[in-house]
With several copies, the nearest count.
Chain A
């Protein structure tokens, strides 16, 4: 399950989507809007996204996870638009027969979402706002010129 949506995120839906009967563990991560950043009081955040590409990149993150750990389901949900303090912007769920793999894979997926998925947040504070520049995305090398 990979979604970019303006609707509130439901972690229970992510759990239901990833769990298989052979799984004993589901690790979940919720990224939530906090009230401060770098010493500044944050009023709310606004998320922009390139939804079609974001979903493709989420699928790519899941494929990387599966290549590294014997996990079952992977779900990645990201919300867009205005989010208030305490609301979840990101939900990542990973299910596995064993808990160690579920935790490691979930933490890895969160890292990768922040590195390659085309989504952006704008921080809005008293009297100002700013689009946060996070990770430079890794661009593939130019192909060798043909003969």
Chain B
């Protein structure tokens, strides 16, 4: 299956990539995708502990099963709004 991966904020900064495609065998989970991304972009690894995942714009656990065409976002800790 083919997935679209989106990278934001510091994760965009450490990879230099905003969006990329990843091919994985059927049955793969978010955790499998994360491992594939760490191989391709080692800089993601140091943020792994604080990275959350969204599939098709909903937060999901690492164990979430992926399907062909899913849009997966890597979400660092959010910091919207002002400094208040």
Contact = CB atoms under 8 A, between A and B. Distances in A.
Direct contact of A and B (CB under 8 A): yes
Interface of A: 24-25, 31-34, 37, 42, 47-50, 52-54, 56, 78, 89-90, 96-99, 102, 110, 113-122, 131-143
Interface residues of B, number: 29
A96 B62 CA distance: 40
Given A48-B9, A120-B9, A142-B61, A133 B81 contact: no
A78 B78 CA distance: 13
Interface of B: 6, 8-10, 12-13, 50, 52-54, 57-64, 73, 75-84
Contacts of B63: 142-143
B56 to A, nearest CB: 9
Contacts of B13: 131
B80 A119 contact: yes
B73 A113 contact: no
Contacts of A42: 83
B8 A48 contact: yes
